[in-house]
A and B are shown apart, each in its own frame.
Chain A
Amino acid sequence: MASFIQLLVSGLATGAIYALIAVGFTLLWQTSQTINFAQGEFVMLPAFFILSAMNWGAPFWLAALIGIALSVAILGLLFKIIIVDPMLRHGVLPLVISTIALSLFLKESVKDFYSSQAQPFPALVPSTDIHIFDAVISTQSLAVLAVAIVTVVALQVLLNKTRVGRCMQATAQNPTLARILGIPTRRMVLYTFLINGVLVAVASILVSPIYLAKFTNGETLGMAAFVAAIIGGYNQVRGAILGGVILGILDNLSAAYVSSQYRGAFPLLVLIAVILLRPQGLFGRIEERTV
């Protein structure tokens, strides 16, 4: 029983990481029909901004701020202006391909310009182990969990309780109507990209101490984000966090109790089941189809 609890607790910790990344992914999809296959690399990259800043002598807290700023500027603003806007005119598909090419580009850039080796990354909170009910969880994992929850709550507040947030939602649900009502839709969409820029930077800071900063991080994290977002419900932000947690726990349990060789298969089987039986995800809303 003790090991079951340990698996649950560790799964929760990993799941919180997936959730954070899935939230940004979901947001982009929801508001601008952007399926960002480069989301994993978006999480991988800010860590290297920060490491570079630290190499030039900045203390960690300053480097972190620089990393977040660069992330918002490059992965938020530039991404939107240079890649998304031109592509979206031609449909979703070229954009999807572009993000695939972008993920390759970012990955290789880091490998060529920084290093192909994994880099240790300073932790936000010192890592000590806490014992809860026979299970051990590190303070780092708790921090990730806490930040993830705070982020989602803040996002929900932003989207539902503020004027800007409600405008963003309107833009997501019906852009034409929103424009007619006088909502500056392009600015709303821009805000989502900027928010994603912050989210991926925060996720990067939380994840990199545990995963170590490496150019291949994006592959596993990105895949986990897609699966989490779809299982949870890609058109509800809270669906993303629940999807992430379910994914983390499921991964651990299947590896421990069923088969370690097929540990990657179970989340995928759940993904297929969810798509076929309940495409809007476990917590999502059904989308209307436009004719």
Chain B
Amino acid sequence: MNRLGIIVVGAAVIFAIVVPFFLKPFGIYLISMWAVLTIAAMGLNLTLGYAGQISLAQGAFVGIGAYTTALLIQAGWPYPIVFISAGLLCFAIGWGLGYPALRVQHHYLAFVTLAFTTLVFLVLRNEEWLTRGIYGISGIARPTLLGWSTANARDFYFFCLGALTVIAAATWWMLRSPWGRAFIALRENPIRALSLGLDTRRYTLMAFAIGSGLAGLSGALYAPLVQFIEPNSFALGLSFNLLLMVIVGGGGCFFGPFVGALVAVLLPEWMRITQSYYLMVYAAIVMLLLAFCPSGLLGLIERVIKATRGRRGPDGIAPNAERANP
């Protein structure tokens, strides 16, 4: 990242810390939701943007994380352990699901994960003895960490923001590592990577499992944020929404999920002025966005920068041919 990038990110961080003091509880709720969903979108970005696998199960993993968290909190477990357990559980399930499922290619995985999401929904709904079934779990308490209670909206937002920062940093570090470079190689050309000696299946599996683990962590924050969870919230709708976030923000760009989640959370709010037509307008905007900048908003900005700068460079390569490097 160059100097301009650091300044931009720094300014954004300062903005994120300062803005809740100017917002009413609803606004704070929205940005907390943004932070929580960004974590899940980051996970999906690993799976989709970097490792190139289409997963429609991200919403289900958020659900598994949320339910685990809700049940364990109500059983009295301390929150830090619950948080980590949710992540680990989803990592493990992701590994278990991915092991056979990743033997098949691209569009097939979409359908396997589609089926998985629906199956998870059915289990969450039908197994009342475990999940309270269709009625959901309500009254989920917000955690108290080292004496600091997050019950207040603003306090909880800072907690989410903190979690997001830590997780983002960890993900950034992971992507810079040799491992991360292997992920990128996988997306570009799996067969060539294989010929170079990379065990593609293992790396793809790790990407999928880590992505699922991140979704679990996101769920662990979602449950105390909304304080009520039910099976319907984690069905296909959420998976589609997360997919939208990654694509609109820019798949394969590190900050793509941040932008995508912001659009997904804020756009319906702006559109509410159009009353009941807003969902229609939302869908239309997404389609237009994809038509004109299918590499996402960040991809578009990148292309513009390259176009103004690239003429001097030796690479006269067309903007679409190369994908983003973080």
Contact = CB atoms under 8 A, between A and B. Distances in A.
Contact of A97 (B100, B104, B105, B243): B243
Contacts of A94: 247, 290, 294
A82 to B, nearest CB: 8
A96 B54 contact: yes
A98 B110 CA distance: 15
Contacts of A112: 276-277, 280
Contact of B104 (A262, A268, A275): A275
A104 B283 contact: yes
B126 interface: yes
Given A90-B320, A97-B243, A272 B115 contact: yes
A195 interface: no
A90 B300 CA distance: 13
A40 to B, nearest CB: 12
Contact of A268 (B100, B115, B291): B115
A90 B122 contact: no
B322 to A, nearest CB: 13
Interface in B62-113: 100-101, 103-108, 110-112
A115 interface: no
Nearest to B278: A108
A45 B291 CA distance: 23
Contacts of A100: 240, 243-244
Interface in A129-151: none
Interface string A79-103: 0000100110011111011101110
Nearest to A104: B283
A112 B277 CA distance: 7
B265 interface: no
B240 A268 contact: no
A120 interface: no
Interface residues on A, range: 35 or more
B287 A83 contact: yes
Nearest to A99: B287
Contacts of A272: 112, 115-116
A59 interface: no
A92 B294 contact: no
A288 B116 CA distance: 27
Interface string B276-288: 1101101110110
A144 B201 CA distance: 45
A91 to B, nearest CB: 8
B105 A289 contact: yes
Interface string B232-243: 000000001001
B279 A108 contact: yes
A56 B103 CA distance: 54
B114 interface: yes
Contacts of A98: 286-287, 290-291
B317 to A, nearest CB: 16
DSSP majority for the B interface? helix
Contacts of A90: 294-295, 320
A261 B118 CA distance: 13
Give chain A's interface secondary structure class: helix
A83 B119 CA distance: 31
Contact of A275 (B112, B119, B126, B240): B112
Contacts of A105: 280, 283-284, 287
B191 interface: yes
A271 B277 contact: no
Interface string A35-56: 1000000000000000000000
Nearest to A97: B247
Q: Which of A83, A271, A275 has the most CB of B within 10 A?
A: A275
Contacts of B280: 104-105, 108-109, 112
Nearest to B127: A261
A92 B277 CA distance: 29
Given A92-B106, A261-B126, A262-B122, A101 B286 contact: yes
A275 to B, nearest CB: 5
Contacts of B291: 83, 86-87, 98
A45 B300 CA distance: 34
Contacts of B108: 230, 275, 279
Interface in B30-49: 48
A271 B126 contact: no
Given A92-B106, A279-B108, A87 B284 contact: no
B107 A279 contact: no
Interface in A270-285: 271-272, 275-276, 279
A41 to B, nearest CB: 11
Nearest to A291: B191
Contacts of A256: none
Nearest to A83: B287
Interface string B210-242: 000000000000000000000000000000100
Given A83-B291, A104-B280, 10 more contacts: A87-B290, A96-B110, A108-B283, A223-B118, A226-B114, A261-B122, A268-B118, A275-B108, A276-B100, A276-B103
Closest 5 CB pairs of A and B: A105-B283, A90-B294, A268-B115, A94-B294, A108-B280
20 contacts: A83-B291, A87-B291, A92-B107, A93-B48, A93-B251, A100-B243, A100-B244, A101-B244, A102-B283, A102-B287, A105-B280, A108-B277, A112-B277, A264-B122, A265-B118, A268-B115, A268-B118, A268-B119, A275-B104, A276-B112
